[in-house]
Amino acid sequence: MPDITFVNGIRASRRDNAPEWALLKQTIDRDKFIAWLQEQPEDVIHIETLRSKSTGKLYAKLDEDEREFQARIRKEELGKAKAAVTEAQEIPEDDIPF
């Protein structure tokens, strides 16, 4: 199991007697959260709220899978763009004026 990067400054909770439509409550410690955000290398940050298997408590963690997915998509799209430019720059011999 990969290391978990907890989101510093966000605490998730849910009361046992909360109505079904009240999914969870999140409390943000602004100073801790801003400091944590400034440490993150990406402009868009994906956060998951999960339930601990051992304690049953909710917690917020960085969604590393989404970050890796977005990085892979960017790399693939960049590769496609480079290939398109390279193909466009190739000129058939019979199109070259003498």
pLDDT for res 69? 67
Nearest-5° Cα angle at 53, 56 to 27? 45
Residue 20 lies in a domain: yes
Residue 96 lies in a domain: no
Report the predicted TM-score, pTM, of the whole model to 2 decimal places: 0.57
Mean pLDDT of 57-85: 77
d(CA 27, CA 9): 8
Residue 91 lies in a domain: no
CB 1 within 8 A of CB 26: no
Residue 27 lies in a domain: yes
Residue 93 lies in a domain: no
Confidence category of residue 93, pLDDT binned at 50, 70, 90: low
| Domain span including residue 24 | 10-63
**Is pLDDT larger for residue 53 or for residue 91?**
53
Residue 4 lies in a domain: no
Count of domains for the chain: 1
Residue 58 lies in a domain: yes
